[in-house]
Amino acid sequence: MLLVMNHFHLEMKDVSKSVFRTINGTKVKTSILSGLDLRIKTGELITIMGASGSGKTTLIRLINRLSELDSGIIMLNGNDIKNLVPMELRRKIGMVFQVPVVFKGSVRNNLAFGIKLWGGNTVIETLSRDAGIPENLLDADAGQLSIGEKQRVCIARALANQPEILLLDEPTSSLDALSAQKIEKLLLGLQKERDLTIIWVTHEKEQVERIGGRRLVLRGERLEDFHA
């Protein structure tokens, strides 16, 4: 008998999550994801749209376990993520936040963070070139950079861990149109070059059209195909 293993790179089954929201000074438990399913193949790019507060950020935070799901299961390469050491899981699943947070010190120190933590043979100069960071900025204070430059540092810092999956939480929302398109181009180039699986959360329809990939929308606590 031929046993066919049909593992997806990432699979979410019947995932539910509630959060506490403060309404009129009272904390109210609100369900934001319910019975959500998602299957992603290796190297696939998916975009997730949705209204503000629909749970897009919460959804991707569940994938790298920055938040905990209430019920359901999330599997990475067929393994329940709860069986993986959270730190190891986060090395495999990188995340770029909406507002870039750089660590105290130089750009070089920021990029070297993951390399010091996890080892590996990533060369900082190559990484910075791939992320579009000019070499003369490597020794600059990361805190003094523009938001666009900071976001590039955050992307490069996440890539230094050589992740399999990259979670992007509206990475261009705090940038001007020109910087946003440059970051888009950079990320799409990196995705092809490194065969990265990317989950890109955005609220901009135009951006979704520019990016391409599989388009999903978070509506009524679940994911649906998005048709423009």
Partner 1 sequence: MLEVLAIAFTVLLIILSAAYAQRFGIGKEILLAGTRALVQILILASIILILFEMPLFWSFLVLAAMAAIAGHTTYSRSGKLENGLPVAVISIACASLLLLIPFFLMGIFPLEARYIVPTGSILIGNAMNVSSLAIDRYKGELKNKRSEVEAYLALGAKPELAAAACLKQGILSALIPSIDNMKNLGIVWIPGVMTGMLLGGADPMEAASIQIAIFTSIFVAGMIASSLVLYYSTDSFFTNAAQLKEDLD
Provide the minimum distance between the beta carbon of 206 and partner 1 in the complex, in angstroms, as a whole number. Answer: 27
Q: How many CA atoms lie within 13 A of 89 on its CB side?
A: 20
Distance CA 91, CA 113 (A): 12
Residue 17 binding partner 1, by CB under 8 A:
no
Q: Can you tell me which of 28, 73, 117, 147 binds partner 1, judged by CB under 8 A?
A: 117
Provide the minimum distance between the beta carbon of 212 and partner 1 in the complex, in angstroms, as a whole number. Answer: 26
81 neighbors 74 (Cβ within 8 angstroms): yes
Q: Can you tell me which of 91, 150, 152, 215 binds partner 1, judged by CB under 8 A?
A: 91
CB-count burial class (<10 Å; 0-12, 13-18, 19+) for 12: buried
Q: Which two tokens stand for residue 98?
A: 């909406």
Q: 116 vs 192, which CB is nearer to partner 1?
A: 116
Residue 51 binding partner 1, by CB under 8 A:
no
Residue 103 binding partner 1, by CB under 8 A:
yes
Q: Which two tokens stand for residue 223?
A: 């994911």
Sequence-ordered alpha helix ranges (H) in the chain: 56-63, 86-92, 107-118, 124-130, 147-159, 177-194, 205-211
Among 40-48, 91-99, 121-129, 187-195, which window interacts with partner 1 (CB under 8 A)? 91-99
Touching partner 1, residues 164-223 (CB under 8 A): none
Q: 58 vs 215, which CB is nearer to partner 1?
A: 58
Distance CA 59, CA 218 (A): 9
Provide the minimum distance between the beta carbon of 3 and partner 1 in the complex, in angstroms, as a whole number. Answer: 32
Which residues sit at the interface with partner 1, rule CB under 8 A? 20, 64-68, 82, 86-88, 90-91, 94-95, 97, 99, 101, 103-104, 113-114, 117-118, 154, 157-158, 161
